DNA sequence: TTTTAATCAGACAATTTTATCTGATTATAT
DNA sequence: ATATAATCAGATAAAATTGTCTGATTAAAA
């Protein structure tokens, strides 16, 4: 069972948070990101490539190349990453898996689940990455200690 | 991307809701359930078997056999099905996929996500299946019309 | 200019999830 | 008794997700 988002999306959010938490104008190599977040190097590399294609991050090739944010952290929200990787479909679908999710044909938990999806969307779309910076740094620090 | 629960779990919830919405003491064959919910017959059959092993439903073999609830609908909640199939792990894990999910090492969306998980748990554990019966019947009816 | 260290692209492999098949067993109805 | 219609169990297949490998390209540094 996945918790709402795919591994790709989870890793993507982690990596972009990581980039946002580091000094601007300095890139991080996929190897650094891999070690910091304990994500398989080649896998995060692929994910970062696709995020680059979406325009969320940029990359520089060659020696001392790497990845960095394409915009200022204050211009990016977690929902942007979700949209780029998993899409926004989940915010329009039913927790019980019924097709045709709409108020006209409510599923048995329609009201509660509708409210929840809204809350989840807000969670990902209100705060910007710079606002999440401190907590991100704390979290990453604990990852290293294992 | 899955929306919180696996297909198995979604189908399981649908099927048990379906059983709860039908007359008590009458069983439904996997074929009936399959057609009513538009779920592959062999697949829902497997899922029902495992729910039978969990003691949530019962089955009778042979001609005119089928599946029925092991308890009264007023004694079953959706969370019971989730627990039997996907487990309750998601209610203790991080939406960003960080390991070591705990208040000591909060992820950047700790507070909002914690509240959300609680809400989701409540959604699945407050109402009993008989309370969801009417909405279930409406939803299933619309499935037939396609 | 050569070595080195990085991204990039695409193929490939492993794993997990989802779905199907087959044959045995069971019980009802003819 | 026999045919029928269902569950059951286990193997298998297909699809999706997750993860790895290889070789080409790029650019910095020696
Ligand atoms: S409650 Fe209604 S709108 Fe919400 S997920 Fe279920 S069917 Fe869709
Ligand atoms: S917010 Fe904290 S407790 Fe909640 S999921 Fe993230 S790490 Fe876990």
- Tell me whether residues A97 and B10 touch, CB distance under 8 A: yes
Q: For residue A10, which ligand has an atom nearest its CA?
A: 2
Domain presence at residue B91: no
Domain presence at residue B114: no
Domain presence at residue A141: yes
Give pLDDT tens digits for A52-66. Answer: 999 999 999 988 888
Nearest CA to ligand 2 atom 8: B101
Domain presence at residue B14: yes
Give pLDDT tens digits for B33-66. Answer: 999 999 999 999 999 999 999 999 999 988 888 8
pLDDT at A2 over 60: no
Task: Output Rg (C-alpha) for chain A, integer angstroms.
Answer: 17
pTM exceeds cut of 0.75: yes
The boundaries of the domain holding residue A22 are 7-85+129-145
Domain count, chain B: 1
A128 to each of A22, A99, B18, B49, B133, how far by Cα in Å?
15, 33, 43, 47, 42
Ligand 2 pocket test target in B90, B109, B117 with most atoms within 8 Å of CB: B109
Q: Is B123 on the interface with A (CB under 8 A)?
A: yes
Domain presence at residue A138: yes
Of the partner residues B14, B93, B96, the one whose CB lies closest to the CB of residue A13: B96
A81 to each of A12, A87, A140, B126, how far by Cα in Å?
7, 9, 19, 34
Domain presence at residue A111: no
Q: Is A33 helix (H, G, I), strand (E, B) or coil?
A: helix
Domain presence at residue A20: yes
Domain presence at residue B79: yes
- Tell me whether residues A135 and B110 touch, CB distance under 8 A: yes
Question: Domain containing A47 — which CATH number?
Answer: 1.10.10.10
């Amino acid at each position: 069972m996945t918790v709402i988002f795919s591994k790709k999306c989870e890793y993507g959010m982690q990596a972009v948070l990581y980039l946002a938490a580091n000094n601007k104008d300095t890139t991080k190599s996929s190897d650094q990101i891999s070690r910091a977040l304990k994500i398989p190097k080649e896998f995060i590399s692929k994910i970062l490539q696709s995020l680059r294609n979406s325009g969320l991050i940029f990359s520089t090739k060659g020696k001392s190349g790497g990845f960095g944010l394409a915009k200022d952290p204050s211009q990016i929200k977690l929902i942007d990453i979700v949209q780029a990787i998993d899409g926004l479909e989940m915010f329009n679908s039913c927790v019980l898996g019924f097709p045709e999710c709409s108020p006209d044909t409510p599923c048995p938990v329609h009201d509660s689940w509708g409210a929840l999806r809204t809350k989840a969307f807000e969670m990902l779309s209100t705060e910007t990455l710079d606002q999440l910076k401190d907590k991100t740094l704390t979290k990453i620090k604990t990852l290293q200690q294992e």
